[in-house]
Amino acid sequence: MIYLDHAATCPMRECSLEQMTEAMQKVYGNASPSYPIAQEAKAKLDQARSVLADTIGADWKEIFFTSGGTEGDNWALTGAVEAGLPERRTGHIITTQVEHHAVLHTCAYLESRGYTVSYLPVDEEGFVSGESLRKELERHPDTVLVSVMLANNEVGTVEPVQELVRIVRNREEELRNADGEGAEPGREFRRKPARRILFHTDAVQAYGKLSIDVKELDVDLLSVSAHKIGGPKGIGFLYIRKGTRIGSLIHGGAQESGRRAGTENVPAVIGFAAAAKEAAADREKENATVRRLQLFFRDRLRKDVEEACGIRMLWNGPEPEETEEQTGTRRLPGNVSVSFPGFDQRTLLINLDLAGICASGGSACTTGALDPSHVLMAMTKDLQRSAGTLRFSLGPENTREEIETTLHVLTETMKRIQLCPRTSSEEL
């Protein structure tokens, strides 16, 4: 098998597997009671919280465990708008057309509850512009939340989140001034003004690959998932900046400072922290490996598919960075998204699958669905391009030989389809 679908999920890191297995055998106490095995579980939980907080420059008290990226996104969005503040019972949300469905479908749910939502467009490479955000903020003075992903799961575009947050903070300042807040001399020293517009970023794909510092980014909420970095599935965290008013998504016991109920999955948290620590320590080395493979894959696609076979190929998203220092400034290392207009992605995927190669269409969540990728449609508005798109996402264990095999299978499949365009995928 050749596994080229790391954006869908990753093989578990050895250190994560080992520590998790040991924890399942030994640290089985519920982290709430006061007897020793429970206290040991509580101590491990908080140690892991500190390790994870360090990976994003947060305080350990700002890390709240969730069941993964989907829950983190749902919690951030619904919690932010339904925080119980009078001004938050209605309000406007600004997000983008290229978010993961965990954000988009939550926005659709919130629209059904009476909130209004703007979906910012993106350019051909998948970037959101600061200008479009600025205009939308002006158009909607009742905006309570902005949610823009750090990196896109389908095409790897790294969004200018820091710049977008600055625009939001400037807008808050303008609104405060318009309200006369802070106009009274000395008033601004009496209390720190509350955030009016929360900024959430979905960092599920960026975490472990990009250097993230929540203080530098100045975000209020950031969601992460363990299984994208070689940790276990079913665990993640939501960073909630200290002082942020946010409602709960899951109600029950007093776990996670009363904000997220349910007995904590201590072994998964331990496995998550182990994976995160290793991912952070090895980030530069792993990024360098996958970036080199990404460039090799792109260049060979152009040579073997485009030049040698005359097959039209379109690269999706920004070009990968050419130097190691620039890695991840515009595109995630390891993401290869290409379109072959006129070809059917399902036929290509079935043939790759038959050869033991795991890749995907748009994202893993949309594979199997007949809808065109909302990300590629937002970027290119080209249905044919979207229908002929493949996403390969590379990991540090991949090799050039694996890429060569993939290229061979891909070109042979496309040559056969060209010779016999009506042949069904099963017959190829």
**Where do contacts with ligand PLP occur on this chain (CB under 6 A)?**
68-70, 73, 100, 102, 149, 153, 202, 204-205, 225, 236, 364
Backbone region of residue 182 per phi and psi (left: phi > 0; alpha: psi in -120 to 50; beta: other values): left
Nearer to ligand PLP, 19 or 157 (CB): 157
In angstroms, give the least distance from the CB of 78 to ligand PLP. Answer: 15
Tell me how far the alpha carbon of residue 34 is from its chain's centroid.
Answer: 37
In angstroms, give the least distance from the CB of 202 to ligand PLP. Answer: 5
Query: Two tokens at 358?
Result: 């795991």
Query: Two tokens at 327?
Result: 């890695």
Residue nearest to ligand PLP (CB): 69
Nearer to ligand PLP, 224 or 280 (CB): 224
In angstroms, give the least distance from the CB of 226 to ligand PLP. Answer: 8
Q: Report the candidate in 97, 137, 138, 142 with the shortest Cα–Cα distance to residue 116.
A: 142
Cα separation, 353 vs 9, in Å, equals 17
Cα separation, 391 vs 338, in Å, equals 7
Q: Is 168 helix (H, G, I), strand (E, B) or coil?
A: helix
8 A C-beta contact, residue 59 and residue 230: no
Angstrom distances, CA of residue 278 to CA of 11, 207, 273: 14, 12, 9
Angstrom distances, CA of residue 303 to CA of 2, 309, 417: 22, 9, 19
What are the residue ranges of helices labelled H in 301-344? none
In angstroms, give the least distance from the CB of 255 to ligand PLP. Answer: 19
In angstroms, give the least distance from the CB of 396 to ligand PLP. Answer: 18
Helix (H) or strand (E) holding 364: none
- Is 420 among the catalytic positions? no
Give me the catalytic one of 15, 309, 358, 365: 365
Nearer to ligand PLP, 332 or 410 (CB): 332
Nearer to ligand PLP, 152 or 413 (CB): 152
Nearer to ligand PLP, 182 or 262 (CB): 262
Cα separation, 148 vs 160, in Å, equals 9
Q: Report the candidate in 143, 140, 141, 148 with the shortest Cα–Cα distance to residue 164.
A: 148
Nearer to ligand PLP, 63 or 149 (CB): 149
In angstroms, give the least distance from the CB of 68 to ligand PLP. Answer: 3
User: For residue 77, how many other CB atoms are within 10 A of its CB?
Assistant: 29
Q: What positions carry a catalytic annotation?
A: 365
